[in-house]
Structure 1
Amino acid sequence: MTEDLRGAVVLRESERAALLALSRSRNGSHALAQRAEIVLACAEGAGDTAVAGRLGMSRDMVRKWRTRFAEHGLDGLDDRPRAGRPRKVDEAVVARILTRLLDTPPDGAREWSTRVMAAETGLSQATVSRVWREHRLQARSSRGDLRSPFPRVEVRDVAGLFLDGTTRVLAAAGRSNGTPGRAALAPTPQARRLAVRARNLVAVADALTPAGWAAPASTAALDSFLEDLGARVPAHVDVYLLVADAPGGMGVRDTLDAWVERHPRGQRRHFSFDPEGSSWLDAAEALLAHPAPLGHDDSTGYGTTLPKLRAALRSWCDGGTPPAGAFAWIGATYDSSDAGGGQTRIRKDGNVIAGGVADAERAASDLSDPVVQELLETLLTATLRSGERVKEAPLADRLGISRRALGKALRVLAGEGLLEALPDGGTAVPRVGIDTVLDLYAVRSALGTLLFRRAAMLHSSELHRIRAALGEVRAIAKSHTHDRIGAADLYFQDMVARTADLPQASLFFQRLTLRLRMFITVLGLDFLDGAVDLIAREDARIFDALREGDGDEAARLWRVKIERSVRYMATQLPDAAFDANLWTTLAGRPDRRAGDPSKPRPTERGGAPA
């Protein structure tokens, strides 16, 4: 590159080709593309004023980038480091941002963005943006065509993920579209959004892998992952391995080649080592952006798997500190079409259940299913109105799952009484009336009495989970964090139920807790200072009775707590007439004694339902 006597830019062919590529790039920086256009226009012999008018910018900007290119070539078009020492982000802050991405976005936000993350964490948007850029996280789909690394392949599911600090393996279950020379269909907007969610989960897992990209490790963990993958994915399902490994990791490549040879349905695409992992992550996003259509709404199958992966990552991180060693995850349950057009479901124990929709629905009717859990937590943190119909399309889009998977999860919640089933197959927010309140609290009172008496029979050393839950209640009460005290109180009660070693009673009690949480959400209850302190005093006295082995006193205090709570809840119902005689007949009258926690003053709204 030179300048002629008139100051015009003279380009070599290689420079012209590079500048044309930059100016036409749909994936690169807009600013860099604009600078390339400036240099190309100057190379045509036009002056700074003419180029500025043609491109719609100032003459000073044209002069700046023409001069920078003349002095430094293509490197001169990059941004120069800013003056001053770059700000560092503490590792704890990075871990906080990354692990927060494993939660669903707050109410009202469809996706995580740097703005939403900044608001949730209390950090600046600039800090969040730096962390996202460093770890290759994205708020939206990449621009461009998203060319899949496996042409003509349509992804059915995310079958597994392996990360050990030296090796990255994403396993996808998929199928070829069967037409040589025909590329996969262009990604739909929903598929692009879902692919970004999957990419970010994988990026978070990679960022938190403690070993770091150092020397190649033993292939024993990878061997185990691949054998598990081969055993738990049906033989008729093709598996595509997207791999990146550290330099010199030939043992890893030999291991993968041997597995593909033993499993002819497997294919592998290897990416060379990249310290930032950008090529591998970009390829993962592009692969997952080409899903196989599963129904009339063109829904993506692996949307039901992402909550399972998210739950596995939460468990793996457990407090923000991942354990040493590899992260190896196999999709515990997933659907994939077989040759007959039916469905095959892989259970959590790895056994295959062949069947149709009825078997799939029976397998899904479990509140412990990650999809159901994520749906429930989303509903419990939303603004709900009694009797309001659940709108499935925006909810499925927010959770990143298909309408069919969402429908199954909604039916599970309706079967548990957490939602109301409608005649047309839809669901609605439950109607909370005085009868439902009395019914729930009467059963909860009786079950709680049984469980609290049983827990008091245990040795004090066996009450550690209850003690830890009480510590959380006290900490929240001390900080006056009103919006968290209700959940902490219910968690304390559930810990008593779990510790009591009465599995059936504990299960029913915890499911009643979920119904109570739904009632609290529907009624929009809150807790002010009087209620916060009241809850802490109640729970402390109950724990003292349990620790001292006084089951009668623990049960009595529980009944006092229930009595106060049910009367408060009844006052929050519009036009409700509380029948004290009916309640006393159902649940009895508590034995109040001097020193029992008193209810908050009438001016202090938030009576703390138990």
Structure 2
Amino acid sequence: MPLRTAGPIAPSAAERARLKAMAYGHRTEHRLRVRAQVVLHAARGCSNARVAQETGLRLDTVRRWRGRFAEQGLPGLKDRQRCGRPPVFTPLQVAEVKALACRLPAESGVPLLRWSCPELAYEATRRGVAALVSASTVRRWLADDALKPGQRRSWIFITDPDFRAKAQRALDLYARTWQGTPLDADECVISADEKTSIQARCRCHPTPAPGQARAMRVNLTDGRGGALVHLAAYDVHAAKVYGRCEKTTGIDPFMNLVTQVMAREP
């Protein structure tokens, strides 16, 4: 059976620059550096055996990363997502621990001024949220949402009696559902808001670039151009922002934003 020859590798200029930065960068992970070197050797026309000899890798390893780059480009050099071990805790248990961290210890009858991760783990076990959870696991959960209950407290009291119904409509739109019917592929959800009284300022004198034996000089005198209004519309599913500045608020400036958004295909 004849051996299959390796296909040619022809990265673009941008890909070649990125590969060189990965192959010779001091902060690049070793595995990515080796994979980038494999692709660079292959782009010079080297055979798999020659690349394996130059990089000190096995022939199968060279063949794998060369083939992945030929099929997927730079994203193919990253590790594929692994299923890993099944999660021990359910999302509901994680949410209950986070909700407990956002409450005062006095509400649970604990004589503490603020929660610590070991105390949170003990309280979650005592309440039956989880059979056994460690302090390091609780610390990781809080770090995922940047929760620091011992350093910051915030709250909001919802006074609208129809808050649940109003919030349900917004959450359904974020999930691409309206009145129980999924949205079509050509329908998009736009969230719009305005930021008023933005000071329009500019430097009265330009800032010269630093040169030999000359520091950069910045003039702190600003020329004020009045207050502007920034209107923005955010496509929540395409992660795209449409923005414009107006002199005042009102229906006419908002309709200008609507016209700007509707004039483009989603």
- Verify same fold: TM over 0.5: no
Normalised by the size of structure 1, how large is the TM-score? Answer: 0.19
Report which of the two structures shows the higher radius of gyration computed on alpha carbons. Answer: 1
Instruction: Considering Cα pairs closer than 8 Å and 6+ residues apart, tell me whether 1 or 2 has the greater RCO.
Output: 1
User: More helix per residue: 1 or 2?
Assistant: 1
User: More strand per residue: 1 or 2?
Assistant: 2
